[in-house]
């Protein structure tokens, strides 16, 4: 090449040297930083992927820290609750010892009560003073705040919100709907009083007891014995009186108005006057009516009527000779046409008279006594049994009130046993000389109750009108009685409860509550509840549901054990929210509520723990007939159960949620960190090789460039 203005070889050498120096710089940068991506130009796509993974790594690292922090908080709470559990067990031992009052002096029992008081005080102190980083843990501060209506509160005897995650919602509604009622185990006995010695074993969820009964023991006796052993068996008994058979016989005799016949000498001139005041129920009056036929003792007098009060005077008509000319028909027409007179009496021809004959003067004559309506009745009761024992018999009793159809008959009765076993009782009512029945309800009542034979079968009582006269009545049958009964019931609701009656001697047949199906054992039924549409786990009247966002348990009040029950609890806030996952949503959060663990909240349906303190009503010093020792034991056991359940729930949350979350996040952190490292971290072996290559290329490029720059100087040789 003999051109000197352009040195192409030098330009090529320079380009190669610059490229080699760039590679050398890149290698030096990567080796000095340990990163193969130091700027966006190094690897734009790799930079995006690496930074995305870097953000995820930061999130995971913080989530692990959050989980460890949550674990520390819960461990602190669990430790404090464990101390409370220990104190509760001490109280349980002191109560058990204090109930051994036959071997302890009053001073020793008082000393035990002092220890219980101290333990209760310590429980409250632990509850108030357990904190983490200044935040109280078990005084109720970490419990969820809730709202519910008065009606809903009455339907729940207890509820507890264990976990809740609000997410983007300001509140959470918990709707519990009962779709199946809970049942206690139940067996029935409808045999009335025992007829022979009987022995049976009563078994329930708490245990069993053998009971012995003599013949003729009543259902009330059996119930008392079963209830005395309820603490051992978990079975209660209720005795229900039956009813003896009865027959009600009501009779009625219609009202009879008073009458009087005014009889004149001659024929066809007799008149019958009837008291017109009689009603459907009254025929007898104290203010009597009198009727007078008066001779005016004067000539040519017309027929007339005068009335003074209840006295009616008929002034008979006369002719010119003073002879009476009024006929019976004339008098009837006069009376019937006078409203005042007609309101007192009605008049008619006496039977066998046609009213055409002349009447004569008759002195004042009273209308006879009437008879009021007679509403008599009797209630006959089967006297062979009793409401508290046997009242149902196979042989019936028939009762008849009979008209003897004779005059002057005395009250009597006959008893006949029919071929089918029926007892037929015929009561022959008394009559007077006219053959009219005269027996009143009181008469028959006294007769039956005083007749040994009849009274062995029935007793009688009037139905309120004992002085009224009876009428004959057709035979009627005394109704079947109902034996006294027993209902054996488990103390609690639920499928874990049962009643078993095992007859060891004698006859004692029990049935299910349909009173038909013979059975010796029955089990209870758990309540059926849906909570927010999900089928809840139930036990007796308790229901609970646990989802990813909600863990709630509640107990229905016994009075709300109905499919019509629907209760709503609104969670408005509170609780402790732990962000343990990568996602800032309900999927990455747990919300736990810890209610107050103190003597005011611990306990159950038997009472609260504070009541065991001196002066609170259920201390060792209060044990007696009104405060059984079992009540104190139940309170402590319920408190221990609640504390143990809470500790178990916290432990399960730590082991199954938080620790597994930490483990999962740690594995994810390893994998994601490795993925990011493969993208952004420099491989020193590769980069060292690249550095060596770049150094060689740089040195070679420098040497070649030097040679290329010397090439134009060779033209000088042509000039020389």
Integer Cα distance of 634 and 638 in angstroms: 6
What pLDDT sits at residue 705?
65
Query: pTM of the predicted model, to two decimals?
Result: 0.66
Integer Cα distance of 545 and 177 in angstroms: 13
Cα–Cα distance list, 417 to 385, 414, 448, 474, 478 (Å): 18, 10, 17, 18, 15
Integer Cα distance of 98 and 686 in angstroms: 82
Integer Cα distance of 57 and 229 in angstroms: 66
For residues 182-194, b (16+ Cβ closer than 10 Å) or e, as one string? bbbbbbbbbbbbb
Integer Cα distance of 709 and 705 in angstroms: 6
Residue 695: burial class (beta carbons within 10 Å; 0-12, 13-18, 19+): middle
Residue with tokens 């490229």: 19
Q: How many CB atoms lie within 10 A of CB 248?
A: 13
Residue with tokens 């003792």: 297
Distinct helix (H) and strand (E) counts, the chain: 14, 36
Residue 299 has phi, psi (to 5 degrees) of: -85, 150
Q: Determine the 3-state secondary structure of 276 from DSSP.
A: coil
Q: Characterize the bridge pairing of strands 311-315 and 290-294.
A: parallel
What pLDDT sits at residue 177?
94
Residues 378/460, Cβ–Cβ less than 8 Å: yes
Residue with tokens 């009813």: 243
Integer Cα distance of 438 and 409 in angstroms: 10
Integer Cα distance of 290 and 344 in angstroms: 10
Cα–Cα distance list, 179 to 87, 163, 330, 535, 690 (Å): 41, 24, 88, 10, 76
Record the tokens describing residue 90, joined without a space.
């001490």
Sign, CA torsion 115/116/119/125? negative
Q: Determine the 3-state secondary structure of 552 from DSSP.
A: strand
Sign, CA torsion 460/461/466/471? negative
Integer Cα distance of 113 and 501 in angstroms: 41
Q: Determine the 3-state secondary structure of 499 from DSSP.
A: strand
CA angle 76, 81, 82 (to 5 degrees): 95
HSE (side-chain half, CA atoms, 13 Å) at 26: 21
Cα–Cα distance list, 125 to 84, 92, 117, 121, 598 (Å): 10, 19, 12, 6, 8
Record the tokens describing residue 411, joined without a space.
């009250």
Quick one: which H or E segment has residue 268? none
CA 61 to chain centre: 52
Record the tokens describing residue 281, joined without a space.
């129920």
DSSP 8-state code for residue 655: I
Integer Cα distance of 653 and 659 in angstroms: 8
3-state secondary structure 92-104: HHHHHHHCCCCCC
CA angle 699, 701, 706 (to 5 degrees): 100
Cα–Cα distance list, 633 to 98, 230, 332, 457 (Å): 11, 15, 97, 54
Q: What is the dihedral angle through the alpha carbons of 461, 465, 470, 473, rounded to the nearest 10 degrees?
A: -60
Record the tokens describing residue 472, joined without a space.
């004959």
Record the tokens describing residue 133, joined without a space.
């980083």
Quick one: which H or E segment has residue 699? helix 684-710
Residues 264/358, Cβ–Cβ less than 8 Å: yes
Residues 257/283, Cβ–Cβ less than 8 Å: yes
Residue 458: beta bridge partners?
382
Q: Determine the 3-state secondary structure of 507 from DSSP.
A: coil
Sign, CA torsion 279/283/286/289? positive
* Beta-carbon contacts of residue 232 (< 8 Å; ≥ 6 apart): 206, 207, 208, 209
What pLDDT sits at residue 4?
63
Integer Cα distance of 15 and 9 in angstroms: 10
Q: State the 10-residue block means of pLDDT for the chain, 720 residues long.
A: 64 73 72 73 78 86 90 92 93 89 86 92 93 88 89 90 85 92 94 88 94 89 93 93 86 84 90 89 87 90 91 91 90 91 91 91 89 82 78 85 90 90 91 87 90 90 82 88 90 94 93 92 95 93 90 90 91 86 80 87 87 89 86 91 90 90 89 82 74 75 72 67
CA 356 to chain centre: 86
CA-based nearest residue to 115, from 83, 85, 88: 88
Number of residues that make up the chain:
720
CA-based nearest residue to 698, from 26, 22, 20: 20
Residue 579: beta bridge partners?
589
Residues 201/507, Cβ–Cβ less than 8 Å: no
HSE (side-chain half, CA atoms, 13 Å) at 306: 10
Q: What is the dihedral angle through the alpha carbons of 379, 385, 388, 394, rounded to the nearest 10 degrees?
A: -100
Q: Characterize the bridge pairing of strands 607-608 and 304-308.
A: unpaired
CA-based nearest residue to 458, from 473, 474, 476: 476
Q: Which CATH number fits domain 58-141+599-675: 1.10.3720.10, 1.20.1330.10, 3.90.226.10, 2.40.70.10?
A: 1.20.1330.10
Residue with tokens 């016949």: 261
3-state secondary structure 611-667: HHCCCCCCCHHHCCCCCCHHHHHHHHHHHHHHHHHHHHHHHHHHHHHHHHHHHHHHH
Residue with tokens 């049962």: 498
Q: Determine the 3-state secondary structure of 366 from DSSP.
A: strand
DSSP 8-state code for residue 114: H
Residues 85/644, Cβ–Cβ less than 8 Å: yes
């Amino acid at each position: 090449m003999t051109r000197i203005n352009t040195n192409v070889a030098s330009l090529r050498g320079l380009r190669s040297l610059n490229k080699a120096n760039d590679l050398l710089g890149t290698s030096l940068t990567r080796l000095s930083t340990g990163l193969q991506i130091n700027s966006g130009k190094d690897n734009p796509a790799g930079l995006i992927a690496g930074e995305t993974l870097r953000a995820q790594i930061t999130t995971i690292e913080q989530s692990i820290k959050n989980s460890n922090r949550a674990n520390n908080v819960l461990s602190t709470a669990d430790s404090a609750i464990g101390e409370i559990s220990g104190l509760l067990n001490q109280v349980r031992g002191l109560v058990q010892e204090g109930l051994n009052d036959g071997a302890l002096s009053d001073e020793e029992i008082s000393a035990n009560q002092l220890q219980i008081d101290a333990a209760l005080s310590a429980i409250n102190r632990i509850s108030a003073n357990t904190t983490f980083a200044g935040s109280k843990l078990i005084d109720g501060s970490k419990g969820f705040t809730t709202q519910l209506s008065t009606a809903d509160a009455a339907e729940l005897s207890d509820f507890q919100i264990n976990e809740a995650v609000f997410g983007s919602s300001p509140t959470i509604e918990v709707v519990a709907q009962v779709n199946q009622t809970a049942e206690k185990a139940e067996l029935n006995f409808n045999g009335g009083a025992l007829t022979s010695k009987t022995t049976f074993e009563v078994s329930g969820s708490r245990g069993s007891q053998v009971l012995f009964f003599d013949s003729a023991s009543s259902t009330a006796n059996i119930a008392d014995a079963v209830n005395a052993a309820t603490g051992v068996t978990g079975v209660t008994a209720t005795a229900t009186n039956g009813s003896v058979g009865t027959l009600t016989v009501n009779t009625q005799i219609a009202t009879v108005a008073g009458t009087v016949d005014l009889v004149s000498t001659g024929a066809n001139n007799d008149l019958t006057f009837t008291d017109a005041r009689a009603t459907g129920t009254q025929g007898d009056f104290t203010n009597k009516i009198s009727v007078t036929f008066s001779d005016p003792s004067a000539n040519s007098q017309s027929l007339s009527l005068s009335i003074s009060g209840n006295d009616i005077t008929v002034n008979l008509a006369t002719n010119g000779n003073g002879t009476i000319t009024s006929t019976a028909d004339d008098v009837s027409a006069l009376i019937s046409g006078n409203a005042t007179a007609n309101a007192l009496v009605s008049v008619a021809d006496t039977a066998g008279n046609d009213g055409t004959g002349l009447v004569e003067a008759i002195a004042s004559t009273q209308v006879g006594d009437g008879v009021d309506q007679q509403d008599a009745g009797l209630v006959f009761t089967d006297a062979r049994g009793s409401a508290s024992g046997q009242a149902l018999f196979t042989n019936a009793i028939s009762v008849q009130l009979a008209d003897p159809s004779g005059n002057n008959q005395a009250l009597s009765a006959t008893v006949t046993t029919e071929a089918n076993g029926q007892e037929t009782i015929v009561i022959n009512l008394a009559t007077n000389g006219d053959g009219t029945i005269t027996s009143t309800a009181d008469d028959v009542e006294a007769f039956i109750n005083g007749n040994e034979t009849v009274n062995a079968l029935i007793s009688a009582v009037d139905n309120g009108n004992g002085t009224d006269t009876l009428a004959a009545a057709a035979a009627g049958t005394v109704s079947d009685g109902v034996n006294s009964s027993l209902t054996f019931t488990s103390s609690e609701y639920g499928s874990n409860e049962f009643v078993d009656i095992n007859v060891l001697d004698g006859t004692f047949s029990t049935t299910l509550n349909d009173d038909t199906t013979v059975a010796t054992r029955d089990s209870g039924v758990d309540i059926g509840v849906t909570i927010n549409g999900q089928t809840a786990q139930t036990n007796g009247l308790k229901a609970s549901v646990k989802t990813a966002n909600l863990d709630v348990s509640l107990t229905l009040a016994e009075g709300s054990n109905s499919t019509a029950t629907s209760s709503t609890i609104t969670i408005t806030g509170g609780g402790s929210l732990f962000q343990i996952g990568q996602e800032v949503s309900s999927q990455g959060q747990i919300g736990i509520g810890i209610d107050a663990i103190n003597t005011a909240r611990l306990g159950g349906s038997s009472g609260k723990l504070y009541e065991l303190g001196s002066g609170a009503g259920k201390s060792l010093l209060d044990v007696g007939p009104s405060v059984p020792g079992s009540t104190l034991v139940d309170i402590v056991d319920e408190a221990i159960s609640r504390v143990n359940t809470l500790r178990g729930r916290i432990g399960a949350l730590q082991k199954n949620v938080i620790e597994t979350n930490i483990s999962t996040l740690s594995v994810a952190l390893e994998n994601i960190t490795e993925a990011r490292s493969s993208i952004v971290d420099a491989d020193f072996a590769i980069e060292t090789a690249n550095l060596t290559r770049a150094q060689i290329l740089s040195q070679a490029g420098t040497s070649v460039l030097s040679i290329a720059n010397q090439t134009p100087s060779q033209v000088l040789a042509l000039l020389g």
